[in-house]
């Protein structure tokens, strides 16, 4: 039975043998009421998963694949109509949001059948009461961008999200965002391993801000009874190390992670369990500011908290949609909301996704008056702070005086620190010679983390560093140079130069930039750094300019060192431009 099904193109003799020898089993697999139940399950499950990657429905043969497509399509429309009605009736804001999210996903999702061609297929499908013609046209046509169906499915942004197959794309096919298999076909050994591998591809592509951390197989046929033997034959490790978990095990892992995370926070005087235990659970959401301030007082605490929250959120997403019908776990939302508060205080980021956590939290509360929930939700939005300063106008004394009156000093520190870090990264991108600033910034942070400075001293050092950074940002104006010219000037100059020699070096930097960027013959052509011939052209033009323009006090060693450094800088800039372009 397995061997026959390895190939989807069964000849008449094989088809007859299959039906004769396995008539009972195939009849059970293909029963109308069974397929209808599976279709309903897929329709409920697919839009409610954690990571909303691509999906694949794997059926026992081509006819069943088309039949499953028809049934899912019909139930899809019924479910969308039901959701519209439920959204209008429900007063539970959390349920309403979930239904709206599912409905939007369903509206934008495209599906297709993907099966191989065979002679006389139209007549064969017609005998089964099925129409293969629109599916064959879809498989063989290109979209308006000239892409075929395979490219559409592999494209993470393309709305083609669910395909129905029986053998195609089960081996030698790579779509990293394929995350869910609906398996309803007998399989074993290498075929089973290859099939499961379709959902196990690694990708960094985020969907709704979520990472793919696992693949999911919904097994309708009990194929996993063959898993251990397949792993023993084709995978490494002993028989007890099965890299596949039943979803019920994830619930246990989630609850264990919540306990460990809550215990960690309680050691830091953050009692989330107590906060969510009362009738007015989130009447005092301002407590989260204090919690965030506590976590931000120590880099190690914050990093550890992030690990706990990442683990909890990843497990929670992996448990969807089954967990949505389980007992509510308000600690999940409490962890996510606290993470949102911490990140919202210090990061310059889009926090729209985090704002949903306040709705989740408030809907967990036991509040009799729904008006209270509405007012609380409006009051306690996670607000992105991410303060901005004009470095050129920083008033160190004023900032330090204001700091003494702030209730949450670690939040103020992290706000300034995050701003400085972002500004410093931006300034380093413009001038690579500013690495001493990065080193000094790291030293200030390390000294505080090691206990070498108190909170007030730490803030004082940060404000003074920010003021110094402001002066550095203006230096190109004082030197009469552009930012690009200043970087070359910094690379070319050496200690002990006279005022007139410094001016010569400035002119050399300007002349070099002009030669490389403006004058003919052009040497900085696209991809010049990838070819030894164009590299020699750039090096030759660069050395010719510097030989004419640098002061006489530059000896052979000075000239060689600075030529090498400038060339390395040009190569680094070219590589960086390639990376950004990609």
Q: What is the pLDDT of residue 377?
A: 38
Structure confidence at residue 479 as a pLDDT band (50, 70, 90): very high
Range 469-477 average pLDDT? 91
User: What pLDDT, on a 0 to 100 scale, did the predictor assign at position 234?
Assistant: 56
- pLDDT tens-place string over residues 76-120: 999 999 999 999 998 877 788 889 999 999 999 999 999 999 888
pLDDT at 367 over 70: no
Statement: residue 327 has pLDDT above 60 = yes
Provide the pLDDT for residue 249.
85
Query: What pLDDT does 582 receive?
Result: 40
Q: What is the mean pLDDT of the chain?
A: 83
Residue 382 banded pLDDT, cuts 50, 70, 90: very low
Q: Quick check: 410 pLDDT over 70?
A: yes
Q: Note whether 529 and 535 are within 8 A (CB).
A: yes
Task: State how far the alpha carbon of 137 is from the alpha carbons of 17, 114, 438, 471, 509, in Å.
Answer: 31, 11, 59, 66, 62
For 521, other C-beta atoms within 10 Å of its C-beta total 7
> How does residue 409 score in pLDDT terms, banded at 50, 70 and 90?
confident
- Using alpha carbons, list the distances in angstroms from residue 81 to 86, 382, 407: 9, 33, 51
Confidence of residue 229 (pLDDT cuts 50, 70, 90): low
pLDDT at residue 358 is higher than 80 = no
* Location of structure tokens 């600033």: 437
CB atoms within 10 A of CB 570: 21
Percentage of the chain surpassing pLDDT 90?
A: 43
Alpha helices in 22-61 (DSSP H): 23-29, 32-45
* Burial call 181-204: b when 16+ CB within 10 Å, e when fewer: bbbbbbbbeebbbbbbebbbbebe
pLDDT at 155 over 90: yes
Whole-angstrom Cα distance, residue 224 to residue 218? 10
Q: Which of 25-34, 275-284, 337-346 has the highest mean pLDDT?
A: 25-34
Concatenating the DSSP letter of every residue in 7-25 gives -S---HHHHHHHHHHTHHH
Phi, psi for 181 (deg, rounded to 5): -115, 130
Contact at 8 Å (CB) between 166 and 185?
yes
pLDDT of residue 579: 43
pLDDT at 451: 81
Round to whole Å and give the CA distance between 421 and 143.
45
Q: 228: pLDDT confidence band, cut at 50, 70 and 90?
A: low
pLDDT band, residue 392 (cuts 50/70/90): low
Indicate if the pLDDT at residue 376 is higher than 80.
no
Q: Residue 274: pLDDT above 70?
A: yes
Q: What was the pLDDT predicted at 287?
A: 81
- Asked if 575 and 529 touch (Cβ cutoff 8 Å), the reply is yes
**pLDDT for residue 137:** 94
* pLDDT of residue 49 exceeding 50: yes
**How would residue 354 be classed by pLDDT, with cut points 50, 70 and 90?**
very low
Q: What is the mean pLDDT of residues 331-360?
A: 65
So what's the pLDDT on residue 182? 95
* Mean pLDDT on 356-378: 41
Name residue, tokens 């399509």: 73
pTM for the structure as a whole:
0.63
């Amino acid at each position: 039975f397995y061997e026959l099904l390895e190939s989807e193109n069964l000849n008449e003799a094989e088809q007859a043998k299959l039906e004769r020898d396995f008539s009972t089993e195939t009849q059970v697999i293909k029963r109308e009421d069974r397929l209808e139940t599976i279709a309903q399950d897929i329709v409920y499950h697919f839009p409610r998963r954690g990571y909303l990657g691509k999906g694949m429905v794997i059926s026992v043969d081509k006819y069943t694949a088309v039949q499953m497509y028809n049934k899912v399509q019909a139930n899809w429309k019924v479910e969308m109509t039901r959701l519209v009605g439920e959204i209008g009736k429900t007063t539970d804001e959390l349920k309403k949001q979930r239904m709206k999210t599912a409905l939007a996903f369903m509206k934008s999702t495209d599906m297709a059948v993907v099966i191989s061609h065979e002679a006389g297929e139209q007549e064969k499908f017609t005998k089964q009461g099925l129409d293969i013609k629109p599916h064959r046209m879809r498989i063989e046509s290109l979209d308006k961008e000239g892409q075929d169906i395979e490219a559409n499915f592999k494209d993470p942004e393309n709305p083609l999200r669910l395909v129905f197959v029986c053998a195609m794309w089960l081996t030698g096919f790579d779509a990293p965002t394929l995350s869910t298999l609906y398996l309803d076909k007998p399989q074993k050994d290498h075929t089973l391993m290859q099939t499961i591998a379709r959902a196990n591809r690694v990708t960094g592509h985020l969907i709704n801000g979520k990472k793919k951390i696992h693949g999911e197989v919904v097994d309708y046929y009990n194929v996993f009874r063959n898993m251990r033997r397949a792993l023993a034959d084709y995978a490494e490790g002993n028989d007890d190390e099965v890299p596949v978990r039943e979803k019920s095990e994830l619930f246990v892992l989630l609850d264990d992670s919540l306990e460990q995370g809550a215990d960690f926070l309680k050691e830091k005087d953050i009692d989330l369990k107590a906060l969510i235990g009362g009738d007015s659970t989130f009447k005092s959401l301002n407590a989260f500011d204090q919690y965030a301030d506590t976590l931000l007082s120590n880099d190690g605490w914050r990093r550890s908290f992030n690990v706990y929250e990442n683990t909890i959120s990843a497990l929670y997403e992996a448990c969807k949609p089954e967990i949505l019908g389980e007992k509510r776990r308000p600690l999940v939302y409490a962890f996510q909301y606290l993470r949102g508060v911490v990140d919202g205080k210090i990061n310059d980021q889009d926090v729209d996704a985090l704002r949903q956590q306040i709705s989740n939290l408030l809907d967990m509360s036991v509040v009799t008056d729904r008006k209270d929930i509405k007012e609380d939700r409006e009051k306690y939005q996670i607000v992105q702070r991410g303060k901005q300063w004009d470095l050129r106008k920083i008033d160190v004394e004023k900032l330090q005086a204001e700091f003494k009156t702030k209730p949450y000093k670690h939040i103020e520190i992290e706000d300034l620190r995050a701003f400085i870090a972002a500004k410093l990264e931006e300034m380093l991108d413009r001038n690579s010679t500013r690495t001493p600033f990065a080193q000094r910034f790291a030293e200030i942070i390390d000294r505080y983390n090691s206990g070498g400075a108190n909170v007030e001293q730490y803030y004082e050092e940060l404000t003074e560093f920010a003021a110094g950074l402001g002066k550095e940002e203006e230096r190109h104006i004082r030197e009469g140079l552009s930012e690009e010219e200043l970087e070359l000037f910094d690379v070319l100059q050496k200690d002990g130069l006279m005022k007139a020699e410094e001016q010569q070096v400035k002119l050399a930097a300007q002349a070099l930039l002009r030669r490389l960027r403006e004058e003919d013959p052009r040497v900085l052509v696209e991809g010049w750094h990838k070819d030894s011939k164009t590299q020699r052209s750039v090096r030759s033009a660069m050395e010719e300019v510097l030989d004419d323009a640098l002061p006489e006090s530059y000896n052979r060693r000075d000239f060689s060192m600075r030529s090498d450094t400038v060339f390395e800088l040009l190569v680094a800039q070219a590589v960086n431009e390639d990376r950004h372009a990609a």
